[in-house]
């Protein structure tokens, strides 16, 4: 799915995206990473990497830009 198509679909549900660095997120913020359709929930920073989970319980440790998903 293209970014434009994803934005259009998210707009239907009243969501918008904003690109930020992962360390700018607060606990509970939801985000995506370029190249992936998974939506992650930020939990905390552990050094340079974040600890985040998705709805399936998978864990993501990431350091870099993310696209925040806001309502």
What confidence tens digit (pLDDT) does each residue in 7-39 have? Answer: 777 778 776 667 889 999 999 999 999 888 899
Distance of CA 32 to the CA centre of its chain: 3
Paired tokens of 1: 């799915």
Paired tokens of 26: 């607060």
Cα gap 52→59, rounded to integer Å: 6
Is pTM beyond 0.75 here?
A: no
């Amino acid at each position: 799915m293209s970014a434009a198509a994803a934005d259009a679909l998210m707009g239907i549900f009243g969501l918008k995206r904003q690109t930020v660095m992962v360390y700018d997120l607060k606990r509970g913020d939801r985000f995506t990473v370029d190249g992936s359709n998974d939506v992650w929930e930020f939990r905390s920073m552990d050094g340079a990497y974040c600890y985040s989970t998705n709805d399936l319980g998978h864990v993501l440790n990431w350091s870099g830009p993310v696209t925040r998903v806001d309502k």
